[in-house]
Amino acid sequence: MTERNDRFLRACRREPVDVTPIWLMRQAGRYMAEYRALRARYSILEMIKTPELAAEVTLQPIHAFDLDAAIIFADILTLLEAMGLPLDFVSGEGPVLSRPVRRDDDVRALAVPEPDEKLAFTLEAIRRVRRELDGRLPLIGFSGAPFTLACYAIEGGSSREFLHTRRFMYEQSRAWHALMEKLADGITRYLCAQAEAGAQALQLFDSWVGLLGPADYREYVLPHTQNIFEGLRDLDAPLIHFGTGTAGLLPLLREAGGSVIGVDWRIDLDAAWRLVGEEVAVQGNLDPMLLACGAPEQICAQADRILAQAAGRPGHVFNLGHGILKITPPEHVAALIDHVHKKRLRGATTE
Amino acid sequence: MTERNDRFLRACRREPVDVTPIWLMRQAGRYMAEYRALRARYSILEMIKTPELAAEVTLQPIHAFDLDAAIIFADILTLLEAMGLPLDFVSGEGPVLSRPVRRDDDVRALAVPEPDEKLAFTLEAIRRVRRELDGRLPLIGFSGAPFTLACYAIEGGSSREFLHTRRFMYEQSRAWHALMEKLADGITRYLCAQAEAGAQALQLFDSWVGLLGPADYREYVLPHTQNIFEGLRDLDAPLIHFGTGTAGLLPLLREAGGSVIGVDWRIDLDAAWRLVGEEVAVQGNLDPMLLACGAPEQICAQADRILAQAAGRPGHVFNLGHGILKITPPEHVAALIDHVHKKRLRGATTE
């Protein structure tokens, strides 16, 4: 029984910590042999929808590495499935939503689900992981953000150019806003239910929002994301607002909400922090490709730069700038975590 | 015979102009029926390598629209071909370089070509277009930047994750820098030769550089790009430095060089201009997807926001944030140009 580690939650609240906490987006994933072994026996959806399996996968990286937080193993697309869009993961193709949203009728047909009914598997997995962790480490819950979920719903899967989404947004603005409202409503309920089930922090993933310029973000996205953060205001959990390619959008992401702003690797962490203001915490921002392909000394040198940029103020959660890549050697993960934890914060500040 | 229009060159030099000049990246391209008609008869490489055809394609958008500059029809990859990498355009796949650079031997095997020998077709096309334009409009020459060309050379074509490139950069840093030096040398000679043939402004396209974080940009790219701008310093032509996804890199792009900095659509133009400083001109930054999918009133509203952000200081060249999409209706192009030209600058300033 190790002792309670709450430095992740403390950093989210901008309270002093002994060393910078670290966790990695997609830390339960294919780069781990333990994950691949389980994945050989079950489909992704089986793993997500079987609470025992989801809990086991969630804990795999916790057992393997000295991480400061767990994140529930789930997928942002199960919410779309619960709203009425059939979902499958096709080998080599990724997620496929076979009935994409293309007209206002499609938006009207979407249901705002009761999480206890339609997403009970993830809530149950959260309860299990909390019992297993027994207070030693905090557990993060999450959801996709309305823009990113709208992209998947409209494209019917992943995309390079997101042409259908952009057409829908510009040509059917009324239906777009109706879709975003339903998504925001569903997301708010889902995140509240996760907090109630035991998630101690909540991350909103707006992975594709960096496609948009600031004016479009303000018009088509911000009000909806803002409604979600408004709806979560009374929760005790820190709220992490994450996107990629957002160097030009950061002030607007901050305006939309969140007590921790996620920053990808394509901007210096200190420049990003200036853009969002020091009243919020920041999370980031090592390049996942460097963790995958760099030598340990290159990885540690970049980690040092990030820590130096964050030094001198509370509120930095170390993370990658986006999810860990499946080609990442687990030794690199161990070396990074060890390196970040070796930097006592007093030392980092005076470097 | 229309009169001489030099507002593009004047804006590049931050001199006063009557209205904001506008041209569009990839303005000679598949969105135009005239282009598609020619393309039905010739391959892309035939069009590029036959000076009559390249000149004709260059002038197609000039005849169709009230643009303020022409840009020579060419491709950034012909330089790689001239350096010794066989190039083909495969239908549906895009460019393919069948002998990608993967080891230091491959770098050593690359030649720095004499543009007059290996790229004479583009130089001849430039001379032809200059004769045709007869001083009415300026002509822009261009090259890919070393990072973007290195990506193509190493991947052997386009890519989503650029994994080979990143591995090469981190794992074979010495070979990487040797490759970048050769590319920078070839690019400098190529751009000088274009200026000598008559190009009145030169644009360096670093389209993929937004993949990198600032520290990697500084270490692996900046010195090489800087060498190019150093090598072009004595030319009279304005030098445009363009990249996409660069909101977090703009101060470094500025440091690398260029008298005009290209800005993509994912940052407000005024924020970008603050980042690069007012001693340089800026070019941008309408979202190409908005021009393709938006209604004319949505396009014009966004153009107004951009013009308002640029108003009050000399040195704005209106453009898209990246190349025009092939699905763009030509009427949208005409409406945008007309709208930008209607805004007399005195009016725009006081709006």
More confident residue, A91 or B43: B43
Across the interface, whether the CB atoms of B287 and A167 are under 8 A apart is answered no
Interface test with A, best of B155, B168, B216 (most A CBs within 10 A): B216
Name the percent of chain B lying above pLDDT 90: 93
Structural domain harbouring B201: 7-19+46-58+68-281
Across the interface, whether the CB atoms of A289 and B327 are under 8 A apart is answered no
pLDDT in tens, B130-179: 999 999 999 999 999 999 999 999 999 988 889 999 999 999 999 999 99
CA distance B322 to chain A (A): 12
Across the interface, whether the CB atoms of A170 and B298 are under 8 A apart is answered yes
**B344 part of a folded domain:** no
- Closest residue of chain A to B173, computed from CA coordinates: A294
Over residues A69-80, the mean pLDDT reads 98
**B142 part of a folded domain:** yes
| B10: Cα within 13 Å, side-chain hemisphere | 15
Across the interface, whether the CB atoms of A289 and B160 are under 8 A apart is answered no
Across the interface, whether the CB atoms of B213 and A248 are under 8 A apart is answered no
Q: How much is the pLDDT for A346?
A: 55
pLDDT in tens, B200-212: 999 999 999 999 9
pLDDT in tens, B283-342: 999 999 999 999 999 999 999 999 999 987 899 999 999 999 999 999 999 999 999 999
Contact between A160 and B160 (Cβ < 8 Å)? yes
Tell me the H-state helices in B3-50: 7-12, 33-39, 44-49
Q: Give me the residue from A248, A272, A293 closest to B266, CB to CB.
A: A248
**B152 part of a folded domain:** yes
**A133 part of a folded domain:** yes
Alpha carbon A300 to chain centroid distance?
23
Interface test with A, best of B151, B174, B285, B293 (most A CBs within 10 A): B293
Q: How much is the pLDDT for B91?
A: 83
pLDDT classification of A2: cutoffs 50, 70, 90: low
Q: In what order do the strands lie in the sheet with B201-206?
A: B70-71, B139-144, B201-206, B239-243, B260-262, B281-286, B316-320
- Closest residue of chain A to B296, computed from CA coordinates: A170
Active site residues of A: 26, 30, 39, 75, 152
Assigned token pair, A37? 């072994």
**A1 part of a folded domain:** no
**What is residue B236's three-state secondary structure?**
coil
Over residues A24-37, the mean pLDDT reads 97
Which is nearest to A48 in space by CA: A291, A40, A56, A324? A56
Q: Give me the residue from B166, B287, B321 closest to A289, CB to CB.
A: B166
Q: Give me the residue from B210, B265, B327 closest to A266, CB to CB.
A: B210
**A2 part of a folded domain:** no
Q: Give me the residue from A215, A266, A298 closest to B248, CB to CB.
A: A266
Does residue B6 carry a pLDDT above 80? yes
Does residue A313 carry a pLDDT above 90? no
Mean pLDDT of chain A, nearest integer: 95
Over residues A11-28, the mean pLDDT reads 97
- Report the CATH number that the domain containing residue A210 is assigned in CATH: 3.20.20.210
Please list every residue in chain B whose beta carbon sits closer than 8 Å to the beta carbon of residue A216.
287, 290
Q: Give me the residue from A267, A285, A305 closest to B247, CB to CB.
A: A267
Across the interface, whether the CB atoms of A170 and B245 are under 8 A apart is answered no
**A208 part of a folded domain:** yes
Provide the residue type at B309 as one letter.
Q
CA distance A200 to chain B (A): 31
**Per the omega criterion (within 30 degrees of 0), is the bond before A227 cis?**
no
pLDDT classification of B346: cutoffs 50, 70, 90: low
Residues, chain B? 351
pTM of this structure: 0.95
Domain count, chain A: 1
- Interface residues of chain B, partner chain A, Cβ below 8 Å: 160-161, 163, 166-167, 170-171, 210-216, 245, 247-249, 265-268, 271-272, 285, 287, 289-290, 292-295, 298, 302, 305, 321, 327
* d(C-alpha A173, C-alpha A180), whole Å: 10
Does residue B219 carry a pLDDT above 60? yes
- Closest residue of chain B to A268, computed from CA coordinates: B214
Q: How much is the pLDDT for A323?
A: 97
List the single range of A219-228, A252-261, B3-12, B63-72 with lowest mean pLDDT.
B3-12
Across the interface, whether the CB atoms of B171 and A295 are under 8 A apart is answered yes
Over residues A200-216, the mean pLDDT reads 97
**What is residue B189's three-state secondary structure?**
helix
pLDDT in tens, B90-143: 887 889 999 999 999 999 999 999 999 999 999 999 999 999 999 999 999 999
Provide the residue type at B100 as one letter.
P
**A163 part of a folded domain:** yes
Active site residues of B: 26, 30, 39, 75, 152
